[in-house]
Structure 1
Amino acid sequence: MIARIWHGYTKPQDADVYEAMLKPELLPGIGKIPGYRGGIVLRRPLGDEVEFITIMIWDSLEALKAVAGPNYAVAIIPEDRMKHLSRYDKQSAHYEIQSLQGLAGIAG
């Protein structure tokens, strides 16, 4: 399995609105794509910004590439969310998941 990790930053006053836009799906329609397993949104205050980290879980890099194409690392940010970001990673990082422990049933 593959974890696709991306960082975005908002001003504190934009953080709640931006976070609400990430729910219920990180990207519109992503839950219907073969090979997509789910996602995690992390949030923390960071000085005069709020940092968001999204982690999207895929069955394989091939499953991700089938959707995102050869430039699969390029960040995908819907236009309606761009206005809330003060800065963001232009590319996502991809990691092979070596272990998942005790995560069943924790989504809320």
Structure 2
Amino acid sequence: MICRIWHGITPRSRADAYASFLEQHAVADYRSVPGNRSVAVLRRDEAEVTHFLTVTHWDAEESIRAFAGDDLLKARYYPEDGDYLLEFEPRVRHFVVTAFASRG
């Protein structure tokens, strides 16, 4: 299993709207791809900005490729992201999962 982590930063004033966008659109998009095991959206508010992480778990690189394309570490953005994000980080991070537990 592979864990894929993306990071983005919004102005604090746009954070609630972006959180809603991620919940309504991005989570469903991730979940629609065969091989996606889970999606979590994490948020940390700071003084003027808010950080978001999407943490997803995938069966294999082939599943990620179906979502992100052939460049597995290239960040994938939605057209609406331009309304919220302060910058567009070009890369994501992948980790091989060595232990995973879930109650659900």
Please classify the TM superposition score into its range, dividing by the shorter chain length: 0.7 to 0.9
Equivalent residues, number: 104
- The 4+ residue runs of structure 1 with deviation greater than 4 A are none
- Normalising by structure 2, report the TM-score: 0.87
* Mapped partners of 1:87, 1:28: distance in 2: 23
Which residues of structure 1 form unaligned runs of 5+? Answer: none
Cα 1:54–1:29 change in 2 (3 A) is closer
1 or 2, which has the higher helix percentage?
A: 2
* Mapped partners of 1:36, 1:3: distance in 2: 10
Within 5 Å, which residues of 2 pair with 1:72-87? 72-87=72-87
Matched with 2:103 is 104
- Normalising by structure 1, report the TM-score: 0.84
SS in 1 for 2:26: coil
Give the root-mean-square deviation of aligned CA atoms. 1.7
Matched residue type, 1:100: F
Which residues of structure 2 form unaligned runs of 5+? Answer: none
Identity rate, percent? 30
